[in-house]
Structure 1
Amino acid sequence: MSRPCIALITDPTSTEGCADYLARAVELLTGTSPVRVDARHFATGGSGRGVPAGDRLRLQVPQEGLDLVPDVIVLYEIPPHRRRALAGFQRLLEHHDVVTLGTGVAAWRIATRKDLTVDRFRRDDIAHMETVVLSRPGVAEAAAAFDKLGRDTWARPVVGTGGDDTFHLTTDGELERATAFYAERGTDWLLSRDAGNITADGRRHQFRVFVLGGRVLHAREHLQSEPDTPCNTCRGAVPVPIAPADLHPRLARLAVAATASMGLPFAGVDLAVENGGVVFEVNVQPAFVDGELPTVAVPYIEAHLNAWAAGRGFRPDTALPA
């Protein structure tokens, strides 16, 4: 079988570094490098275009000299605030039955907008901490939500990444400052009851579970020595890898269910074991850390190659080929 032409389409404004992991995975599996493409060319208003090439799709970016008919497209590392602008491109890929895991406009939107995520969790009975969505609330509305949630809460923007603009609130003063912070930015936000996910030695902890095609690929525990700081590795949390077989079965089932609830074929699910197991969020394109090239990046690329080898594209509601 000939080597496939793989286009790796990412946004270079991201600092997560996922593109390098994925490019290396392509090299390991195919013996050749992917063609790297700036996703911004195919966002709304971009100069890139997709045109029919027989029964396939040709990607063109004239000013970059790009003229490519890929066998596989890997669409990844798109910052949350830039995803909506790629909806038209995703629909184009879907229309042309391109081999990719990157279609699914509705799934991306639901997982990216955390207010929609909470609505979907409620619909599908996915366990999560009680949450109130706030849109430019007045002082009384914010205070009522704070009281309802037990006055030990986390505030976060509806669209965000890496724990940015996320605050642990336990006092009226903290609530007032957070309310003003989001108001100044015109940002809708969520207030959620604290999960009590603190270890015996006082560290905040949660789990990141990678799900692909209805099964757990890999997991890690995050340990944050600053319990009032988001439990993200980019905010100082220490990742501890966990083999899928060693993950608590309740967390594994919950991660798979949460991914399916979003309509995603692949995701990184953040959750805690406390309160019987609760999901915090579902990440459309979770970042990788050291050691996750073989455990996450390679299987993710391999799924694309399996779909290509099977001679058909992939849809979010379709089982991955074996």
Structure 2
Amino acid sequence: MSRPCIALIADPTSPEGCREYLADAVELLTGAPPVRVDSRHFATGGTGRGVRHGNRLRLQVPEQRLDFVPDVVLLYEIPPHHRRALAGFQRLLESHGVVTLAAGPDAWRTATEKNLTVERFRRDGIAQMETAVLSRPSPTEAADVFERLGRDTWARPVVGTGGNDTFHVDTSARLERAAAYYAERDTDWLLSRDAGNVTADGLRHQFRVFVLGDRVVHAREHLQPATDTPCNTCQGATAVHLAPSDLPPRLAELAVAATASVGLPFAGVDLAAENGGVVFEVNVQPAFVDGERELHAVAVPYVQAHLDALAAACGGPRRGLTASA
């Protein structure tokens, strides 16, 4: 059987580098590198084209001198603020039956825009800390919400990334600064009750759980010595890797349920064990860290899932490392 043609479509302006992990995973599983495509060509106003080729989709990117028919599309590492511009491309992939785990634009939007995530969790009974969505609140309105949430809260923008623009708000002065910050940027924001997720030795901590379908493929605990700073590795938190079997079962179940709630086939779920287990957010395209470890623990299973879906669509055996093991 010939090697599948895999398109890796990512935004090269992202600093996370997930595309390198995915490219390595593709080569490990198929013996050939993916076709790399700049996702901006398929965003609104881009010159990339998708045309019907028999019962398949042909992708044409004049700027990159690309004209090919992919068997699989990996659409990944798209910064949150750029995702809505790819909604049309996602619908194009879906309408042509392209094998991809990129999901649809509705799932991306629900997970990316945190006000929608909060509402979806409320609908589906996914445990979360009490949260209010604020849109240019008056000082009195913001103060009233702050009081109701116990005066120990976290503020974050509706759309953000990497813990940027997120603040621990536990004084009136911090509340005023956060409100002014978001007002200056003309963005809606959320205020959530603090989860009290601090260890006995004073480290802020939470879990990042990688969910693929109905199973956890990897997890890590993030330990942050700066308790007023988000528990993201890019914000200085240390990652402690966990095998799926080492994650408390209730947290694994909660992560899978949260991923299903927003409609994603793959996600990185941030949650805490405190308060019986609560979800902070569901990341559409979680970043990979620690080189070889997450290449094999996360990137390879993610690509393998695409190969399995391709094999199922073609009525053949599973492809890749799993098929040859």
Give the structure-1-normalised TM-score: 0.96
Q: Which amino acid aligns with 2:301?
A: P
Q: In structure 2, what is the equivalent of residue 264 of structure 1?
A: 264
Secondary structure of the equivalent of 1:289?
coil
Q: In structure 1, what is the equivalent of residue 305 of structure 2?
A: 303
Report 1:216-235 matches (<5 A).
216-235=216-235
Structure 1 runs of 4+ with >2 Å offset? none
Instruction: Give, in whole Å, the separation in 2 of the partners of 1:303 and 1:123.
Output: 29
Instruction: Give, in whole Å, the separation in 2 of the partners of 1:135 and 1:302.
Output: 42
Whether 1:5 and 2:5 are equivalent positions in the alignment is yes
Mind listing any 5+ residue stretches in structure 2 that lack a counterpart?
316-322
Instruction: Give, in whole Å, the separation in 2 of the partners of 1:63 and 1:27.
Output: 24
Secondary structure of the equivalent of 1:28?
helix
Secondary structure of the equivalent of 1:151?
coil
CA contact (8 A) 1:97 1:312 kept: no
Q: Which amino acid aligns with 1:262?
A: V
CA contact (8 A) 2:103 2:265 kept: no
Shift in alpha-carbon separation, 1:233–1:312, aligned structure 2, 3 A: farther
Q: Which amino acid aligns with 2:296?
A: P
- How far residue 13 of structure 1 moved from its aligned partner, in angstroms, is 0.7
Whether 1:292 and 2:294 are equivalent positions in the alignment is yes
Q: In structure 2, what is the equivalent of residue 277 of structure 1?
A: 277
- How far residue 263 of structure 1 moved from its aligned partner, in angstroms, is 0.5
Instruction: Give, in whole Å, the separation in 1 of the partners of 2:117 and 2:297.
Output: 27
Q: In structure 1, what is the equivalent of residue 250 of structure 2?
A: 250
Secondary structure of the equivalent of 1:57?
strand
- How far residue 143 of structure 1 moved from its aligned partner, in angstroms, is 0.2
- How far residue 63 of structure 1 moved from its aligned partner, in angstroms, is 2.6
Report 1:182-221 matches (<5 A).
182-221=182-221
Instruction: Give, in whole Å, the separation in 1 of the partners of 2:176 and 2:308.
Output: 52
Q: Aligned Cα RMSD in Å? A: 1.1
- How far residue 62 of structure 1 moved from its aligned partner, in angstroms, is 1.5
- How far residue 151 of structure 1 moved from its aligned partner, in angstroms, is 0.2
Q: In structure 1, what is the equivalent of residue 318 of structure 2?
A: none
The count of aligned residue pairs is 314
CA contact (8 A) 2:47 2:61 kept: yes
CA contact (8 A) 1:93 1:103 kept: no
1:209-249 C-alpha deviation (Å, 9 max, x unpaired): 00001100010000001000000000000000011111001
Instruction: Give, in whole Å, the separation in 2 of the partners of 1:226 and 1:272.
Output: 17
1:7-66 C-alpha deviation (Å, 9 max, x unpaired): 000000100000000000000000000010000000000000000000000000123211
1:146-180 C-alpha deviation (Å, 9 max, x unpaired): 00000000000000000000000111000001100
Mind listing any 5+ residue stretches in structure 1 that lack a counterpart?
314-321
- How far residue 105 of structure 1 moved from its aligned partner, in angstroms, is 1.1
Instruction: Give, in whole Å, the separation in 2 of the partners of 1:173 and 1:185.
Output: 19
Secondary structure of the equivalent of 2:313?
coil
Instruction: Give, in whole Å, the separation in 1 of the partners of 2:3 and 2:98.
Output: 17
- How far residue 312 of structure 1 moved from its aligned partner, in angstroms, is 5.7
Instruction: Give, in whole Å, the separation in 2 of the partners of 1:266 and 1:186.
Output: 31
Secondary structure of the equivalent of 1:310?
helix
Q: In structure 2, what is the equivalent of residue 317 of structure 1?
A: none
Give the structure-2-normalised TM-score: 0.95
Shift in alpha-carbon separation, 1:147–1:312, aligned structure 2, 3 A: farther
- How far residue 184 of structure 1 moved from its aligned partner, in angstroms, is 0.4
Instruction: Give, in whole Å, the separation in 1 of the partners of 2:300 and 2:63.
Output: 32
Secondary structure of the equivalent of 2:26?
helix
- How far residue 103 of structure 1 moved from its aligned partner, in angstroms, is 2.9
CA contact (8 A) 2:250 2:277 kept: yes
Q: Which amino acid aligns with 1:73?
A: V
1:262-310 C-alpha deviation (Å, 9 max, x unpaired): 0100000000000000000000000001120000000000000011111
Q: Which amino acid aligns with 1:306?
A: D
Q: What percentage of aligned pairs have identical amino acids?
A: 76
Report 1:91-240 matches (<5 A).
91-240=91-240
Q: In structure 1, what is the equivalent of residue 46 of structure 2?
A: 46
Q: Which amino acid aligns with 1:60?
A: Q
Secondary structure of the equivalent of 2:3?
coil
